[in-house]
Amino acid sequence: MDPLADLDLNLLRTLDALLRERSVTAAAHRLGRSQPAVSHALGRLRDVLGDPLLVREGRGLVPTPRAEALAPALEGLLRELRRVLVDVSAFDPATSERTFVVAAPDVLAPLVPDLLEAVSDAPRVTVELRVGQLSGVPPEVDLAIGVMPSEAPGVIARRLGQVHQAVALRAGHPALDLPWTPATYASFPHVTIRTNTPGPSLVEQALEGAGLHRRVGLVAPTFLLAPHVVARTDLLFTGPKELLELLAPTLGLVVRDPPVPMPAVPVAAQWTERVDADPGHRWLRRRVIDAVAARLAR
């Protein structure tokens, strides 16, 4: 007969308390239980293990040889259970060596220094950045940042703010000497980013609404390439204002509001229910969410 079939964790905790206290009353106080409940548990332990375990001697209880043999193993077992149930799930950023995977579109790349600063109190933590347009949250990704998604089963989303569109030009661009009108904006070639999404872009929709059409001079594969191209040519680039302003001082860019109305784009953080309660993930998303939200609020 398997002795574990009738044994539960509360019985083991009771036996541990009895062996430490050598008193039913003291053990009950230690466990926060009633004396009859501890006496009943001792009776069950005796039946399951086939041994008296503790016997009366004078005004106290003394362990039998079987109980004395069990005591150190029982203490180690309960200590290991506490470690597995509590310590393993705990997260200490000062000592953790976990790797967290954060996914974001290339357009959010200028925020990476903010993200690294946000987790600087975790010197051994590694942040692995995955770049690309995402649909949902892949299982290997801890946290995804991007356009506010539609509802998806098992995915939690929190809005972080929004990005507004702006136009980047090089300092000394000829457009800066002209009236900043939709016609001026459309008269110069533009850099666009290949997104592989169907339909007209926000810029094209805005220009179509004004009865204008732009010429695309370069289709770039990444967001980060576009500002560098603009800094050395007469091409224009329209992208998130909050992020272009981060790059403008370094590249010598002028950032202007577009001369035609363009909607802001909501940005959200996404993660799966599977990691929602994990202490390490809670730490990560709190830091990342605060960093991104603070940047978008400026």
pLDDT tens sequence across 85-112: 655 557 889 999 899 999 888 777 778 8
Interatomic CA distance for residues 84 and 156, integer angstroms:
27
Confidence bin at 125 (pLDDT 50/70/90): very high
Are residues 83 and 207 both part of a single domain?
Answer: no
pTM: 0.65
pLDDT tops 60 at residue 134: no
- Total structural domains within the chain: 3
With a cut of 60, say whether residue 133 has pLDDT above it: no
Q: What is the mean pLDDT of residues 113-140?
A: 83
Q: Is the pLDDT of residue 48 over 80?
A: yes
- Kindly give, in sequence order, each residue whose CB lies less than 8 Å from that of residue 77, ignoring residues fewer than 6 positions away: 12
pLDDT, position 243 = 84
Confidence of residue 81 (pLDDT cuts 50, 70, 90): confident
Residue 193 is assigned to a structural domain of this protein: yes
| The pLDDT of residue 239 is above 50 | yes
Question: Do 30 and 104 fall into the same domain?
Answer: no
Q: Tell me the H-state helices in 125-253.
A: 182-187, 202-209, 225-230, 241-251
Query: What's residue 1's pLDDT?
Result: 47
Q: How confident is the model at residue 254 (pLDDT cuts 50, 70, 90)?
A: very high
170 part of a folded domain: yes
Using the 8-state DSSP alphabet, how is residue 276 labeled? T
- Residue 155: the pLDDT is 87
In which domain, by residue range, is 224 found? Answer: 165-256
User: In 3D, which of 82, 100, 87, 134 has the Cα closest to residue 283?
Assistant: 100
Q: What is the mean pLDDT of residues 37-56?
A: 89
pLDDT beyond 90 at 256 = yes
Same domain, 175 and 38: no
Contact assessment for residue 186 and residue 213, using Cβ atoms and an 8 Å cutoff: yes
Sequence letter at residue 261: P
Per DSSP, the three-state class of 193 is strand
Do the domain assignments include residue 224?
yes
Q: What is the CA radius of gyration of the chain?
A: 32
Residue 230 sits in the same domain as residue 214:
yes
- Rounded CA gap, 10 and 231, in Å? 70
What is the rounded average pLDDT for all residues in the chain? 86
Residues 252 and 200 occupy one common structural domain: yes
In a domain? residue 93: no
109 shares a domain with 53: no
Q: Based on the fold, state whether residues 209 and 221 are members of the same structural domain.
A: yes
Looking at 62, 87, 112, the residue that finishes a domain is 87
- Say which CATH number the domain at 124 has: 3.40.190.10
Together in a domain, 154 and 275: yes
Q: How far apart are CA 46 and CA 22, in angstroms?
A: 15
Q: What is the mean pLDDT of residues 141-166?
A: 84
92 in a domain, yes or no? no
107 is a domain residue: yes
Is the domain of 173 the same as that of 157?
no
What is the predicted pLDDT for the residue at 235?
96
Residues 138 and 272 in one domain: yes
The domain spanning residue 39 has which CATH number? 1.10.10.10
- Asked if residue 152 belongs to a domain, the reply is yes
Q: By CB neighbour count within 10 A (0-12 exposed, 13-18 middle, 19+ buried), where does 64 fall?
A: middle
| Residues 159/266, Cβ–Cβ less than 8 Å | yes
Confidence band for 253, pLDDT divided at 50, 70 and 90: very high
Three-state secondary structure call for residue 156? strand
Query: Do 56 and 202 have their domain in common?
Result: no
Of 87, 113, 133, the residue that ends a domain is: 87
